[in-house]
A and B are shown apart, each in its own frame.
Chain A
Amino acid sequence: QQPVQSPQAVILREGEDAVINCSSSKALYSVHWYRQKHGEAPVFLMILLKGGEQKGHEKISASFNEKKQQSSLYLTASQLSYSGTYFCGTGGSGNTGKLIFGQGTTLQVKP
């Protein structure tokens, strides 16, 4: 089941904040966040696990709400380099690294 991301697109000015949400209809075990710039490969941002464990870049923050089956990515004091499409991927508890990605959220940061 593909997770649902919201909003689909957002436009910001430099220095503004944004929140991108990722909701699943299934119980979440792990959530991965990636950013993809046009024509490039997705780049890892953060992993959040059920139970609170996290791994990722220092300047990125995110939350994981087991009850709501939702994760949110927080982008604060946005920079032009934050522009791109953000994908969340949900992983299961099995012995695979399989991720099911959401449809993506396009973020555009303007000067």
Chain B
Amino acid sequence: DSGVTQTPKHLITATGQRVTLRCSPRSGDLSVYWYQQSLDQGLQFLIQYYNGEERAKGNILERFSAQQFPDLHSELNLSSLELGDSALYFCASSFNKEGGPSAMNEQFFGPGTRLTVL
């Protein structure tokens, strides 16, 4: 158990709908990362938040958005869903010393949310 929690575990919805995925980082971690993993694909970086602010962006679609709240939990919002959005969505968190994220901090992954768009 990494200490990172994600809800829901499974989500089945229809095309055109909107869903929200939730992530709670490990206690003390300020950074939250979102990744998408499609079938037989690697981990695609979507976005990173550090202490409530967006810190880095990957190839995140305009239909997707995220935020990190004052209690440091994060939500990933996916709208106008398409069949191709079906994937496993992971959240990860890392501890960062004062000064912000660094490459020396390992990321702890949550169990993921499996999204199926029908």
Contacts and interface: CB of A to CB of B under 8 A. Distances in A.
Given A41-B2, A44-B107, A95 B45 contact: no
Interface string B1-45: 010000000000000000000000000000101010000011111
Main secondary structure of the interface of B (DSSP, over half): loop
Interface string A62-81: 00000000000000000000
Nearest to B109: A41
Nearest to B110: A41
Interface of A: 2, 29-30, 32, 34, 40-44, 47, 49, 53, 55, 87, 89, 91-104
Interface residues of B, number: 31
Interface of B: 2, 31, 33, 35, 41-45, 48, 50, 55-56, 58, 90, 94, 96, 99-112
